[in-house]
Chain A
Amino acid sequence: MWIKGARILDPENGIDTMGDIHVSHGRIAGIYPGGSPDTDAESIDAQGKWVLPGLIDMHVHLRDPGFEYKEDIASGSLAAAAGGVTTMVCMANTDPVNDNPSVTKYIIDRAKSVALVRIMPVGAVSKALMGQELSEMGLMKEAGIVAVSDDGNPVEDASLMRSALFYASTFGLPLLSHCQDRPLSVSGVMNEGALSSGLGLSGIPGVSEEIMVSRDLLLSRDTRVPIHLTHLSTKTSLELVSRAKEQGIPVTCDVTPHHLLLTEEGVKTYDTNMKMYPPLRTEEDRKALVEGLLHGIIDCVATDHAPHARDEKNLDFDLAPFGVIGLQTLLPALLKIHFENDKGLLGVLGAVTCNPARILGIDGGNLTPGSRADITIIDPQRQWVFTEECIRSKSKNSPFLGQRFTGMVIQTIVEGQTVFRES
């Protein structure tokens, strides 16, 4: 199969060129800048389109097993395919928790039979995410996990965290840390500040994240084990990470699209689709995150796709669960940042392709000949509005409903097979 006449964007190889791509046996067979010899083989006319490596979303909640009414592996993969995401890394807070190889095996087997895209599970750091005893990381690795995380539940005990870093690195597993000091944030539902006080909602102060970012950076320095900090939300967190990187601490981090595009102002109408952890912060924080992405302090953008059923979200702001979906708005959100800042296209795309692949130690995320033919084709000019009708997830809790985007995923290819085509 050939993809012809496209703008080819491959952040890993620094390629931004017009040309053709040859795909054969589920692999990238070759890139032909400027065009290729005529062929009778099946081809996709991609004139005016952009072709990129399939996206890797390193932070997704698929809710399967246990909460299939919110999402399951099949519906999550439909949403991923429609969003140009060809690899999803799914978190361990299912029921039962993915803290042992039999749950890992269920996810892998289920994905094999129903998923349109590649699904790579994350194992729990601690048994039942309780922060007490280490999980069976080694056996889960054998069964197919690519990282460990207690996401959703911070590992509060510094001693266990230190131990977890050593133990995970024994098996070559990266550790993804959700930074939250619980006592400082436990009653909060939105960013703490004048707005939360005015709305009568309890605040989650930025410092509740920053304290744990600091702790994790110190533990990483102390153990010399790499650590990945997920969904950072404040300017100060980024400053801490930036300084740590300068000092050679092996830290990487990601942010979500909603923290890059939205602020706490969204909470003004008590819209529970604006409730997530960490909370939407101030415009100053948001700008710092965008700068951090454009300057490479932020390594990855990941959605923290967190489906919740309509009835759960249609509660009081205080009682509704934290979390929003994001698989189908990941790429449009990144393009928005690229268009608004008119720079850094390859850098921004690297945050959802080669960077997560590198951090997780997995293949994919590039268009290097010989690698998996996971490819996303987008129409960069298409203007559209994101509505509930667009959503392929079982849950509709998006903070971007009604948002206008430029640039749309029109075709998604996984190992050479088309899994989504925009109709």
Chain B
Amino acid sequence: MNWPRKDLIGIQDLSKEEIITILEMTTSFKEISKRDIKKVPTLRGKTVVLLFYEPSTRTRLSFEIAAKRLSADTTSLSASGSSFSKGETIMDAALNVMAMAPDCIVIRYPYAGIPQKLARELPCSIINAGDGYHEHPTQALLDMYSMQERFGTIEGLRVVIVGDIFHSRVARSNVYGLRKMGAHVSIVAPKTLLPPGIETWGVDIATDFDSVIPEADVIMMLRVQKERLNQQFFSDEREYSFFYGLNKHRVDMMNSDAAIMHPGPMNRGVEITHDAADSARSLILNQVENGVAVRMTLLYLSLGGSLHVD
């Protein structure tokens, strides 16, 4: 049996069963990265184009390594140094890329909705590597994989997500996925950083970080996205980190088993201090490691892979 989806646009589209399948298969792919020769021929002859219209280090590198370990040919294009900076529209750019017959386009884009449009209009697979503040499905899958790896299950986990939920595609994708998998999600943020309509998300909402720390199994810190905060969302970084930063004092309040996550890149000293980021509780580098395996899984599945790996 093959994976029926040509594209991966958002966690909102996936069923619980599909998420479970992806997480299960990720374990097999993770093993490849531990081999001496980290390469299998699975996607030999396939072309994967990475179209990145927003700066990215981790995600882009992760996709590129994932594709290469499966023997796919990869090419990567970024906004600067491409004809996007000459005024070419995204649709024209995508059609031009399509004319070169890639099998998969991985796209990172500053505005919501473009991966969906490409998926509708292009015959190749589209994998969303983050669109505006809509979704970032591979990040949520690698986060869920990391939680499952650490705790054995996601069902019943108490996950606290802290920070700029308003502008966070990572928060949205994680909320959708964690809710489907039966986790309990709490959101912590000043009210200015809560998106309108969040009461329909099926999450608990708190403005007092300290009140939710002792109960949490996972505390996921979001980056303060200085580039998106064009209005008055909070006073200054000093006040933000006092109320919403994860520091030593708060780490000490955490339950002994609890873990710390962050999708990166971190603003050290703003939403997270080194006592938290570099502690034994931190899963931050596990997240990065698992990112490669999750993306190998998704490339494999989207390019028509069988659900049973040999």
Contact = CB atoms under 8 A, between A and B. Distances in A.
A269 B116 contact: yes
Contacts, number: 64
Nearest to B120: A269
Nearest to B199: A194
Nearest to B114: A316
A314 B113 contact: no
A194 to B, nearest CB: 3
B172 A270 contact: no
A218 interface: no
Interface stretch (A105-113, A199-207, A367-375): A199-207
A387 interface: no
B195 A318 contact: no
A196 B134 CA distance: 9
Contact of B116 (A195, A270, A315): A270
B230 interface: yes
B81 interface: no
Given A316-B111, A316-B114, A319-B111, A200 B134 contact: yes
Contact of B196 (A197, A316, A317): A197
In the complex, which of the residues B166, B196, B199 has the most CB atoms of chain A within 10 Å of its own CB atom?
A: B196
Given A199-B134, A200-B132, A200-B133, A317 B197 contact: no
A270 B112 contact: yes
Contacts of B111: 316-319
A248 interface: no
B126 to A, nearest CB: 14
Contacts of A317: 111-113
In the complex, which of the residues B111, B116, B172 has the most CB atoms of chain A within 10 Å of its own CB atom?
A: B111
B135 A200 contact: yes
A270 B113 contact: yes
A270 B200 contact: no
A297 to B, nearest CB: 27
Contacts of B134: 199-201
Contact of A270 (B117, B166, B196): B117
A65 B112 CA distance: 34
A197 B197 contact: yes
A195 B113 contact: no
B307 interface: no
Given A187-B230, A199-B134, A319-B111, A193 B91 contact: no
A270 B131 CA distance: 13
A319 B89 CA distance: 11
Contacts of A269: 116
B14 interface: no
A198 B91 contact: no
Interface in A161-201: 187, 192-201
Contacts of B116: 269-270
Interface in B74-102: 89-91
B132 A192 contact: no
Contacts of B199: 194
A315 B87 CA distance: 12
Given A194-B196, A195-B197, A200-B131, A315 B89 contact: yes
B196 A192 contact: yes
B169 interface: yes
A200 B198 contact: no
Interface in A315-333: 315-319
A200 B196 contact: no
Nearest to B112: A200
Contacts of A199: 112-113, 134
Contacts of A200: 112-113, 131-135, 169, 172
A54 to B, nearest CB: 40
Interface string A2-15: 00000000000000
B90 A316 contact: yes
Contacts of B109: 316
B1 to A, nearest CB: 29
B172 A193 contact: no
A393 to B, nearest CB: 22
A312 to B, nearest CB: 10
B196 A193 contact: yes
Contacts of A205: 196
Interface string A227-247: 000000000000000000000
Contacts of A195: 197
A314 B112 contact: no
A81 to B, nearest CB: 34
Contact of A314 (B91, B197, B198, B231): B91
B196 A196 contact: yes
Contacts of A196: 196-197
Interface in B198-213: 198-201
B197 A194 contact: yes
Interface string B18-29: 000000000000
Contact of B112 (A193, A194, A315, A318): A318
Nearest to A316: B111
Interface string B164-184: 001001001000000000000
A224 B196 CA distance: 38
Given A187-B230, A315-B89, A318-B132, A203 B196 contact: yes
A194 B200 contact: yes
Given A200-B134, A200-B135, A200-B169, A314 B89 contact: yes
B238 to A, nearest CB: 26
A364 B90 CA distance: 48
A197 B132 CA distance: 11
Interface in A245-285: 269-270
A317 B113 CA distance: 7
Nearest to B165: A197
Interface in A194-226: 194-201, 203, 205
Contacts of B197: 193-198
Interface in A286-337: 311, 314-319
13 contacts: A193-B196, A194-B199, A200-B132, A200-B134, A200-B172, A201-B112, A201-B132, A269-B116, A270-B112, A314-B89, A315-B91, A316-B90, A317-B113
Given A315-B90, A318-B111, 6 more contacts: A194-B197, A196-B196, A201-B112, A270-B116, A316-B114, A317-B112
Complex A-B, nearest 7 residue pairs according to Cβ-Cβ distance, in ascending order: A194-B197, A200-B134, A270-B113, A200-B112, A197-B195, A318-B111, A316-B111
